[in-house]
Structure 1
């Protein structure tokens, strides 16, 4: 497998597409699959039409990204668009898409079936499934896919994002543009795949057992009413030395205040190091509960985690290096990176260091494309799951 990345920072969609078209003319041959990530202010319908016009036979998938994207050429700005073109005539690839509607699990299986038909691989087990979906009910999507393909097939991807959690996100796949959908891509490449899924946070030593519950219309699995029998929000505020003191009194969003203090769930050891599923507290309710961006089971023990901006910028390179180390071939040829949009906002202008860390972890001239998401999906300690504030890398060998 080989790959080429093209990208643009033009803020107007028609000008950006003209820029991409000029770059596309310099790329020899017909790609076998394409990924696209873009700033949420771009017109996704125009972008989708552009792919239908210029790459009509190529499976395409992707979606909006918080604050732009990063590519092999450079760290893109808030209006950037990046495209990864895969070339692997001996492999098979396909995409599918469906609106989540009232049943995200059914939508996920419909999109998977479409993707397998598109790849001409019905009934076969992919080497990798890649998902890009709207935020919400990600666990239902992952669980449905795992039930269909088994626990050993890696499922990676992310939840489409915008710049301010206003819902201005979108997904593109199989010739469709969706705002509440799930896009599924299947990979049967001729070469190898290496992957890694990690967070950049450490436990503070504070921990407790949660009680989930309903409130404010939230999914019970995404609301913590109590921790160790105490108000979840008040105990969390104590754990974090007052990180949510102001919202605690009024209620409301705490995404910015909690980015450096996610909750963690132990998943098991890798090389003697405990791995954690990270969950991002989203709001404080009137009753002192915490709503979340991922599901937790009642009775789960959670750890208060903490992070540092410098570590969040360097961690991406380590994740990519670990994914590449899982290959047995001489060198990687391409990489797809998912980096949490909340972490991207937390590191601010140092996001350019995230790009540089990824580039330094790969051999020179390796094509890569990265997106900033509002939820990350990947395989952690041999289990496919949805989490927050995580980083993933899928690296392809020739």
Structure 2
């Protein structure tokens, strides 16, 4: 297996892909078996997809937009039109990608996408080592359920919800054949080497908690019988305000004050899966970027700029250690909301990762939702999370 990563700062599709091709040494190495392209929405998705197919072939091409840009071994590019690539050449492995509109039934669409991807990998009916996922924000829980129905509950599903620069819905997903605004891209990976992945957050519980007493989908109405917006404002000591009159965005306010659910204990320590409050409504309800259920115990979580900056490097170190310290490459998913909160310190985030990876090729994307597998559990969708997935040097 050979892995290479590349980044372009040209801000143009054709020139950017030419730069990517040169860095990946496509003329010498040939078309990769798997190519992930992640990009800021300043680049037009359909033009990017069509040019990439022409330049790299229509094999396992996986595309998804990333908030403001990307990061990697060459640094951070968050000017709005950054472009990054992560490529694998692996004659002993198998890779397959497909994309599909979510339609009316996101779970069924995810099942179909997984089956198609397995067929494209020439491994129908088999269980992949990993699924790399890019999905439109909104129905990630149903997508994960659909994927697990095909690949099983234990398979590593990791990736992120596609993003734009300002939560205006300009995000995009693409596979070899089409671009989507409300779709998903699925790549199944059967690599010839071992994989390790870590999925965490940079937040801690304050100790304040309550029970969901009324919720409809991702709209949380009541905690302990009280309007959710009032509860969150009280728990955060007023850092997250309530709506007076019209609904208002609280994404920025709530970035350091999300809500968390304990989904499992890891070595006796509770693992909190986070949900990001997005909108406060005049009726006291809150719209979320991840679903909660009636009866869930919600904890007020708190983060700091320092914790968000430091966490990515710690996750990288843990993942590398889990792989035996020798790795060939890595994919990093870092929440777009966290990135925006520490935007002026993203060079520190990137440097913290590089301190552990050195010259190992890696690519980082900024997402509006993160999918991963906590230690000892199954795949989940959460917000304000970080994941790192590394490809080791040992044979499977």
Structure 2: distance between partners of 1:92 and 1:18: 26
Contact 1:317 1:357 in 2 (8 A): yes
Residue matched to 1:251: 247
Structure 1: distance between partners of 2:231 and 2:150: 40
Task: Check 1:69–1:287 CA distance in 2 against 1; reply closer, same or farther (3 A cut).
Answer: same
Query: Are 1:178 and 2:180 an aligned pair?
Result: yes
Aligned Cα root-mean-square deviation (Å): 1.5
Query: Are 1:233 and 2:229 an aligned pair?
Result: yes
Structure 2: distance between partners of 1:27 and 1:353: 34
- Choose from 247, 272, 276 the match for 1:280: 276
Query: Are 1:338 and 2:333 an aligned pair?
Result: yes
What is the TM-score of this pair, normalised by structure 1? 0.94
What is the TM-score of this pair, normalised by structure 2? 0.95
Residue matched to 2:363: 369
Alignment of 1:1-398 (within 5 A): 1-25=1-25, 28-30=28-30, 31-78=32-79, 79-213=81-215, 220-245=216-241, 247-248=243-244, 250-328=246-324, 331-362=326-357, 364-380=358-374, 381-398=376-393
Structure 2: distance between partners of 1:184 and 1:95: 6
Structure 2: distance between partners of 1:188 and 1:25: 23
SS in 2 for 1:152: coil
1:245 deviates by 2.7
SS in 2 for 1:120: coil
Structure 2: distance between partners of 1:118 and 1:204: 47
Deviations along 1:68-98, whole A, 9 cap, x unmatched?
0012222123221001111211111110111
Structure 1: distance between partners of 2:26 and 2:158: 30
Task: Check 1:207–1:123 CA distance in 2 against 1; reply closer, same or farther (3 A cut).
Answer: same
Structure 2: distance between partners of 1:395 and 1:248: 46
Of stretches 318-327 and 258-267 in structure 1, the one that deviates more from structure 2 is 318-327
Contact 2:58 2:176 in 1 (8 A): no
SS in 2 for 1:167: coil
Contact 2:243 2:284 in 1 (8 A): no
Contact 1:5 1:73 in 2 (8 A): no
Structure 1: 5+ residue stretches without partners: 214-219
Contact 1:333 1:366 in 2 (8 A): yes
Of stretches 222-231 and 331-340 in structure 1, the one that deviates more from structure 2 is 222-231
Task: Check 1:289–1:168 CA distance in 2 against 1; reply closer, same or farther (3 A cut).
Answer: same
SS in 2 for 1:162: coil
Structure 1: distance between partners of 2:129 and 2:84: 24
Structure 2: distance between partners of 1:136 and 1:107: 14
1:25 deviates by 4.4
Structure 2: distance between partners of 1:274 and 1:392: 18
Structure 2: 5+ residue stretches without partners: none
Contact 1:212 1:221 in 2 (8 A): no
Contact 2:111 2:149 in 1 (8 A): no
1:18 deviates by 3.4
Aligned residues: 390
Of stretches 21-30 and 370-379 in structure 1, the one that deviates more from structure 2 is 21-30
